[in-house]
Every structure is written in C-alpha cells, then in structure tokens.
Amino acid sequence: MKHTVTQALVTIAIAAAIVVAVKVVQARATEVLIAVMNDEAGKTTIHQVNLKDTYCVTLINKFKEQAKNSNPISLTLPNPDFTGTVIEAYCIMPDGSRLTFKAPTI
C-alpha cells in the first residue's frame, strides 16, 4: 500500500507525539490523549490533551462502541477549543502502555 506524503508526515508526527507523551505521562502520572482529527474543512490535525486517571480509557472505549454502530466520532477539545471528527486516538498511560483506536474506513 502506498502512502501519500501527508500520510507519512502524519504517521511520523503521531510517533513523535507518542514518544513525548510517554515522557510527560511518566513525569506527571496522568493519561495523555493524542487524537488525529479532521476539522469541518477536512484538514487533518493532531491534538494532545492530559486527562485524569481513567478518562482516556473511557473515551477510547466509547469511540470503539460508537464505531461499531458506524457513527462518526465527534470530539471537542479545550485549549485551544477544537471540534472535529476523530480518525485515530491513542491513550498513553502512566506506565507507558497505550490503548489505540482507529476509525473504520468506508
């Protein structure tokens, strides 16, 4: 499967964000959500948010449940406020483990 330059850059950015998130999580003992999202114009962006213990896992589980029903996953994030459709999401736990979600493609 060939990847476009944009897809390759997004993959590299996700990998870098995960490495940074693991270091942040280990230092602060919080969960980190990294979300690849599309805005209303279809632009893909990556967002990172620190969450209280168990919040991130709960979100990923809700994303998976919504995806089973073929529902798009809409999410609003703070600082700065951003609303979009979740394409991929990663939870980085305090111990460095991670939980992932990838929206099904049509």
Are 82 and 47 spatial neighbours (Cβ–Cβ below 8 Å)?
Answer: yes
At 71, is the secondary structure helix, strand, or coil? coil
| Reported confidence tier of residue 1, pLDDT bands at 50, 70, 90 | very low
pLDDT for the residue 71: 83
**Interval 27-82: pLDDT, tens:** 566 899 999 999 989 899 999 999 888 899 999 999 999 999 888 899 999 878 89
Classify burial at 33, counting beta carbons within 10 Å of its beta carbon; exposed 0-12, middle 13-18, buried 19 or more: buried
- What is the separation, in whole angstroms, between the first and last Cα of the chain? 16
